[in-house]
Amino acid sequence: MRTVTSAAAMQRLARRWRAQATRVALVPTMGCLHAGHLSLVRRARRAVGRPGRVVVSLYVNPTQFGPREDWKKYPRDLVRDQRLCRTAGVDVVFAPGDAQMYPSVEGEAFSTWVIEEELSKEMEGRSRPGHFRGVTTVVAKLFNLVLPDVAVFGAKDYQQAAIVRRMVRDLNFPVRLILGATQRDADGLALSSRNRYLVGNLRRQALVLRQAVQQAQALVRGARFPPAAAWLRSALKRRIEQHRDARVDYIEFFHPETLQAMRQVGPGAHLALAVFVGKTRLIDNGRL
């Protein structure tokens, strides 16, 4: 396994692979890898086989964090991530620094952004202004540097995957997107690098996100008529906030492809929610 830190070197390598007609799969990550990422790596390998190449990018992208968010303290451990990637059969780890990704060339600052204007308005987009501009810009850059045939994203970030899919369609990136299933701990908590912030009984309280999705599934599937979104939202919020340290950021019901909000919620709708558990903001989602 090779580690590449320079953007130019990554692009040179990718162009060589392309000239040899070698298929390439990219798994974009912010590092601090866990079993969820490793399942995306396996999915990537299945997609390109051998002698296809699997690239994992490790980059804590500053432009997708708000000024009061956890960019500075976001966990970073390159050596551990490299070890996990090597064991998982990754071919190349791409771990650029900020100067590689957002260069200020001859004093001229980085000033070009990729902005998706429709799907990014609600949910994460509303709660984290500028977040998706950072995501789409860095993903577009990664696509241009790694030149993947396939890119694998996790379903836990459901809105992110929908936005990247739209960007790929609208800007004609020749990349096939694959959505890897959310991986969970045995008790149902969705794996996330931020779970390590959950100390003491916050970890137990965090289970309420998954429980809320299950409660919504039971209510929607058991109802004779599709319940009103407002009623369902209040029922879930009440349950979540019974936990001392849990505070709902948003609970949304929407069409799984267009992300259009729904007023009546029938089977087949999608639910996404964000909840602060202590100071840690967690997300989860599920099909109803």
What six digits make up the tokens of 196? Answer: 């390590």
When the beta carbons of 47 and 262 are compared against ligand PAF, the nearer one is: 47
The least distance separating ligand PAF from the CB of residue 141, rounded to whole angstroms, comes to 10
- Count of C-beta atoms within a 10 Å radius of residue 77: 13
Residue type, 256: P
Q: What are phi and psi of 279, to 5 degrees?
A: -95, 0
String of contacts with ligand PAF for each residue 156-185, x by CB under 6 A: -x--x-------------------------
The least distance separating ligand PAF from the CB of residue 48, rounded to whole angstroms, comes to 19
The least distance separating ligand PAF from the CB of residue 61, rounded to whole angstroms, comes to 4
- Does residue 61 interact with ligand PAF by CB under 6 A? yes
When the beta carbons of 241 and 249 are compared against ligand PAF, the nearer one is: 249
Catalytic residues: 37
- Residue ranges of the alpha helices (H) in the chain? 7-19, 35-48, 78-87, 98-101, 124-127, 131-146, 158-170, 202-205, 208-222, 229-240
Residue 19 in 3-state DSSP? helix
- Does residue 285 interact with ligand PAF by CB under 6 A? no
Please classify residue 50 by burial: count the beta carbons closer than 10 Å to its beta carbon, then call 0-12 exposed, 13-18 middle and 19+ buried: exposed
- Does residue 29 interact with ligand PAF by CB under 6 A? yes
Q: What are phi and psi of 245, to 5 degrees?
A: -100, 10
The least distance separating ligand PAF from the CB of residue 138, rounded to whole angstroms, comes to 5
- Does residue 139 interact with ligand PAF by CB under 6 A? yes
The least distance separating ligand PAF from the CB of residue 256, rounded to whole angstroms, comes to 19
Buried b (16+ CB within 10 A) or exposed e, 167-205: bbeeeebebebbbbebbeeeeebbbbbbbebbeeebbeb
Q: Binding residue for ligand PAF (CB under 6 A) from 24, 47, 84, 138?
A: 138
Nearest to 140 by CA among 22, 33, 57: 57
When the beta carbons of 34 and 247 are compared against ligand PAF, the nearer one is: 34
- Does residue 55 interact with ligand PAF by CB under 6 A? no
String of contacts with ligand PAF for each residue 95-134, x by CB under 6 A: ----------------------------------------
| Binding footprint of ligand PAF on the chain (CB under 6 A) | 28-30, 61, 64, 135, 138-139, 157, 160
